[in-house]
Structure 1
Amino acid sequence: MPHMDVPGARLYYETEGQDANPALLLIHAGIATLRMWDPIVTALAEHHFVVRFDTRGYGETDSEDVEFSDREDALRLLDELGIERATVMGASRGGQIAIDLAVEHPDRVAGLITIGSGPSGFPEVDLTDEEEAYVDAQDAAWEAKDWPVLMDSEVRFWAVGPLREPDDVDPDFLETARMLNRFNIARMDQNPTPRPLEPPAFDRVVDIEMPALVIVGEYDVTPALLQFEYLAEQIPDADSARIDDTAHLPSVERPGAFLTILEPWLERHSL
């Protein structure tokens, strides 16, 4: 299994496709690992060199309790693989990392794709009463260090969404979402500290010049929906899409519908 040593960590990564093809860097959500991209990687690798990695605190990446930069980790991986520029796609937390990377190092980012994401520095959003109840339950599980309960509560909130019931979603998808998040229990004792982008990306997305595609699921949570609207309005010439019948993990829950949006967009922009 490929790992790369970086200061204070060993990053786990995978590649698929021919390295002569345009590079596509995938950054996973905070309720998942790089395995979340499994449903779409084979299709994307037909015309791209697909790179994905577990960020610190997740999956098979092992980290010391040090301050670090997610952006620098991503750049070190691109350098290791000899990639000068890549289209970067991130989901949720991974999308924020992708936005920060595009703002800080536009010369390394050929295109930007976000899924249920917002820029760093986005103002705090008022949740609905129902959403507040889910967050309170997660906080209680965190205080009790009941990691399985916490992980499953996060999946209920994010992957199912507050406007749906678990019975409304495909049981195979629900089990996949649970497994993606529960895998991270093994890293709960690691506490690497991400160094934020300064100044944050909130006021800087207006300067993004590379092609951008902003995606959100119909049943995502309130902050993600508002962040989607903000990015779609503020990033110059950004394309945007809402995917029906899904919440925070549309590429996992509805990979076919996701690819029908993503692949033509990549081709249209020669990415």
Structure 2
Amino acid sequence: MTLTHDMTGDGPVAVLLHSTVCDRRMWDPQWRKLPAAGLRLVRCDFRGYGETPASDAPYSDADDVLRLLDALGVEQAALVGSSYGGRTALDIALRAPHRVTALALLCPGLPDQDESPELAAFDARETELFEADELEKAAELNARAWLGPEADTATTEAVRAMQLHAFRVQSAAAEEHDGAADFDVPSLAGLRTPALILSGAHDFPDFRACAIRTAELLPGAHHRELPWAGHLPSLERPAEITALLADFLTP
């Protein structure tokens, strides 16, 4: 399967990997601005999100992205990942470090992170609503939980709509498959890739801890916690995050 994707701009390639609360549309603000900084952008929908169908067999999101880059003739790229997209970016960098020029990770997750009571309570409520086929309520729960206090009504509605679409696609699938793959977290210390890691002060403690751990492990990492941000800072203050990414990704 080739992931549904878009390309725009000219110059060094940056691949935008979305959170599982959203799909590739979460990068709309950056999509309009980053090409002016001299970047060629690629964004894609993981399986079961946006316009990419759910999978009918086991798969790996990291392998899907690498195959997409092969199909596009892209040998090297910077990876920009939000939440699960950040975890997938790390997985790609471990599988093919020679292909990754930089990592920009926004509130990334790690496969071995213990779950906090706050996140466990959220997961339990989401599962309850999903299993009751209350998909609209589950999507609303996600939009409220993952956005920080500065998110406006339009942003909240956009996240709700993306999550609801994903829930509908995934609930209609004949069999559920998870594209996430575990990786050896301590092996991140062997990467020499420059990395910018952002976390949000209003995020779940799990992801704040993941950002700190990732920055400690990656030798070339710089971590910055954003005091105003929740879990999706690129949507909460898009202009500020776009400027940070442009500064990090361009010479």
What TM-score results when the alignment is normalised by the length of structure 2? 0.92
Deviation of residue 125 (structure 1)?
A: 3.1
Q: 1:173 aligns with which of 155, 162, 174?
A: 155
For each residue in 1:134-185, what CA deviation from the matched residue of structure 2 results, as whole angstroms up to 9, or x when unmatched?
Answer: 333212112212211111112221124xxx5xxx642222122212222213
Equivalence for 2:226:
243
For each residue in 1:62-82, what CA deviation from the matched residue of structure 2 results, as whole angstroms up to 9, or x when unmatched?
Answer: 233101111111111111111
The reply to whether residue 11 of structure 1 matches residue 3 of structure 2 is: yes
CA contact (8 A) 2:151 2:235 kept: no
The reply to whether residue 70 of structure 1 matches residue 61 of structure 2 is: yes
Give the unaligned 5+ runs of structure 2. none
Root-mean-square deviation (CA), in Å? 1.7
Distance in 2, Cα, partners of 1:53 & 1:212: 21
The 5 Å alignment of 1:1-271 reads 6=1, 10-18=2-10, 21-46=11-36, 47-120=38-111, 122-128=112-118, 131-160=119-148, 169-188=151-170, 189-190=172-173, 191-194=176-179, 196-197=181-182, 200-267=183-250, 270=251
Equivalenced residues, count: 247
Deviation of residue 51 (structure 1)?
A: 0.3
Deviation of residue 85 (structure 1)?
A: 0.3
Distance in 1, Cα, partners of 2:78 & 2:186: 22
CA contact (8 A) 1:208 1:236 kept: yes
Distance in 2, Cα, partners of 1:237 & 1:109: 13
CA contact (8 A) 1:218 1:242 kept: yes
CA contact (8 A) 1:99 1:201 kept: no
CA contact (8 A) 1:214 1:232 kept: yes
Identity %: 29
CA contact (8 A) 1:24 1:89 kept: yes
Distance in 2, Cα, partners of 1:141 & 1:25: 33
Distance in 1, Cα, partners of 2:6 & 2:104: 19
For each residue in 1:194-237, what CA deviation from the matched residue of structure 2 results, as whole angstroms up to 9, or x when unmatched?
Answer: 2624xx14111111111111111221111111101111111103
Deviation of residue 132 (structure 1)?
A: 4.4
What TM-score results when the alignment is normalised by the length of structure 1? 0.85
CA contact (8 A) 2:46 2:61 kept: yes
SS at match of 2:202: coil
SS at match of 1:66: coil
